[in-house]
A = this chain, B = another copy of it.
Amino acid sequence: MGLTLAALAAGVEPRLALANGAEALPSWSDGAARKRILDFIAASVTEGSPGYVRPEDRIAVFDNDGTLWCEQPAYFQLIFGIDRIRALAPEHPEWKDQEPYKSVLAGDLKALAAQGEHALLEVIMQTHAGMSTEQFLDISKQWLATAEHPRFKRRYDTLIYQPMLELLVHLRSQGYQTWIVSGGGIEFIRAFAEPVYGIPPQQVVGSSIVTEFQIVDGQPQLMRLPKIDFIDDKAGKPVGINKFIGRRPVFAAGNSDGDLEMLQWTTAGDGPRFGMIVHHTDAEREYAYDRQSSIGRLDKALDQSEANGWLVVDMKNDWTRIFPAM
Which residues of A are interface residues toward B (Cβ below 8 A)?
1-2, 5-6, 54-56, 59, 133, 177, 186-187, 190, 194, 200-202, 204, 208, 211-213, 215, 219-220, 222, 235-236, 238-239, 242-247, 261, 264-265, 268
A190 cross-chain contacts in B, Cβ below 8 A: 246
Contact A244–B202 (Cβ < 8 Å): yes
A4 → B minimal CB distance (Å)? 10
Question: Complex Cα distance A133/B245, Å?
Answer: 13
Contact A213–B239 (Cβ < 8 Å): yes
A133 → B minimal CB distance (Å)? 6
Contact A238–B264 (Cβ < 8 Å): no
Checking B204, B236, B243 against A246 with a beta-carbon cut-off of 8 angstroms, the contacting residue is: B204
A268 → B minimal CB distance (Å)? 5
Contact A238–B213 (Cβ < 8 Å): yes
Contact B211–A239 (Cβ < 8 Å): yes
Contact A242–B202 (Cβ < 8 Å): no
Contact B2–A55 (Cβ < 8 Å): yes
A288 → B minimal CB distance (Å)? 30
A204 cross-chain contacts in B, Cβ below 8 A: 246
A246 cross-chain contacts in B, Cβ below 8 A: 186-187, 190, 200-202, 204
Contact A242–B222 (Cβ < 8 Å): yes
Question: Complex Cα distance A194/B55, Å?
Answer: 13
Contact A215–B264 (Cβ < 8 Å): yes
Checking B2, B56, B212 against A235 with a beta-carbon cut-off of 8 angstroms, the contacting residue is: B212
Contact A242–B1 (Cβ < 8 Å): no
Checking B212, B220, B239 against A268 with a beta-carbon cut-off of 8 angstroms, the contacting residue is: B220
Known contacts A213-B239, A220-B238; decide if A1 and B55 are in contact (CB<8 Å): yes
Checking B222, B239, B264 against A239 with a beta-carbon cut-off of 8 angstroms, the contacting residue is: B222
A247 cross-chain contacts in B, Cβ below 8 A: 200-202
Checking B5, B54, B186, B208 against A56 with a beta-carbon cut-off of 8 angstroms, the contacting residue is: B5
Question: Complex Cα distance A269/B181, Å?
Answer: 28
Contact B261–A2 (Cβ < 8 Å): no
Question: Complex Cα distance A5/B5, Å?
Answer: 30
3 shortest interchain CB distances as A-B pairs: A201-B246, A2-B56, A213-B235
Question: Complex Cα distance A243/B200, Å?
Answer: 13
Known contacts A222-B238, A238-B222; decide if A243 and B186 are in contact (CB<8 Å): yes
